[in-house]
Amino acid sequence: MTTSAQIIDGKLAAAEVRAGIKAEVEKLKAAGVTPGLATLLVGEDPASKIYVASKHKACQEAGMASFNHTLPKDASTETVLKKVHELNADPKVHGMLIQLPLPPQVDSEKVLEAVSPGKDADGFHPTNLGRLFSCKDMKEIYARNIPIPCTPLGCLVLIEKSGIRPAGKTAVVVGRSLIVGKPVAALLLASHATVTLAHSRTEDLASVCRTADILVAAVGKAKMIEGSWIKEGAVVIDVGINRSPEGKLFGDVDFEAAKERAGWITPVPGGVGPMTIAMLLKNTLALSKKR
């Protein structure tokens, strides 16, 4: 039996999250605290500038303060570290994010580690990742107020939108990067799914994917996951953003074929993408409440 999958609307889900955040920001402001996010961009990369601008616009719409810091593209590691220390000490800044990638002469690891874990809006600080991995379940992660990497948290929220509870389900995450695949796997594990983390050396990926009640694709290869790899009724979360030479966006999943087998599926664009910024605001709000 094949019926077309229900589409998980990331734009709508993100708008709902952002409306909730706006209401909470108003309450905090009434109590005298304006949540503030600082961004640090090194260089002039056009795509990074667009991403940073959209984060500031989102802060503005949520009623949050935002502070944009830009350093020249030839800035040294020491110059970047000095700025990070300044922002760590600034009481108006509750959350901070370093726009990646940093230019090659800058030691990214040193810079990311210099961000105070209590201001880590992206959730990439090793201390926070360690805390995340040490938690038994999502309840503990939320109770300890650990900043969660934004795109992975967006994936989890979208899975919850499908109404499918991960507990006891088989989940397959394709891609093991530190910013997407690994934390998504950690969150699904903390949600009590049985998790397989697949990657470029995985043998017979098609068969592995066919076991998935929940399939998360975070590879960066357009339409790599074929329709026949999808288990009937599965929840399919497509993190991939791949641009064709004509400028059209595609996910990692062959959407048209996969939606004939999946139960729920996210589109690209309009799926995971909008959730990432919403989760950044969520983290910033949580960090401002914590302090």
Ligand X SMILES: NC(=O)c1ccc[n+]([C@@H]2O[C@H](COP(=O)([O-])OP(=O)(O)OC[C@H]3O[C@@H](n4cnc5c(N)ncnc54)[C@H](OP(=O)(O)O)[C@@H]3O)[C@@H](O)[C@H]2O)c1
d(CA 114, CA 78) in angstroms, rounded, equals: 11
Catalytic residue among 99, 120, 182, 238: 99
Of 120, 122, 238, 254, which residue is the catalytic one?
122
Q: The tokens of 283 are what?
A: 């983290």
Report the interface residues with ligand X, using CB under 6 A.
Answer: 151, 174-177, 179-181, 198-202, 205, 218-221, 239-242, 272-273, 276
99 is catalytic: yes
Terminal Cα distance for the chain, rounded? 53
Residue 141 identity: I
Of all residues in the shown chain, the one whose CB is closest to ligand X is: 177
Q: How far is the CB of 220 from ligand X (least distance, A)?
A: 3
Q: What angle do CA 56, 119, 15 make, to 5 degrees?
A: 40
Structure tokens at 220: 């960066």
CB of 7 to ligand X, least distance (A): 16
Q: Considering the complex, state which of residue 152 and residue 263 has its C-beta at the smaller distance from ligand X.
A: 152
> How far apart are CB 270 and ligand X at their closest, in Å?
10
Q: Which is nearer to ligand X, 200 or 228 (CB)?
A: 200
- Rounded to a whole number of angstroms, the minimum distance from the CB of residue 5 to ligand X is 19
Q: Is 106 exposed, middle or buried (0-12, 13-18, 19+ CB in 10 A)?
A: buried
Residue 11 is among the residues annotated as catalytic for this protein: no
Answer for the pair 208, 196: CB distance below 8 angstroms, yes or no. yes
- For residues 94 and 37, the answer to whether their CB atoms sit within 8 Å is yes
Q: Closest approach of Cβ 160 to ligand X, in Å? A: 17
Nearest in space to 282 (alpha carbons), one of 122, 101, 132: 122
Eight-class DSSP state of 21: H
C-alpha distances in Å from residue 124, one per residue of 113, 177, 274: 9, 12, 19
Q: 122 catalytic, yes or no? A: yes
**CB closer to ligand X, 72 vs 101:** 101
- Copy the structure tokens of residue 38: 């600082």
Catalytically annotated residue among 55, 161, 231, 282 = 55
| Of residues 97 and 218, the one with the C-beta less far from ligand X | 218
Closer to ligand X by CB, 203 or 246: give it: 203
Could you list the active site residues?
A: 55, 99, 122
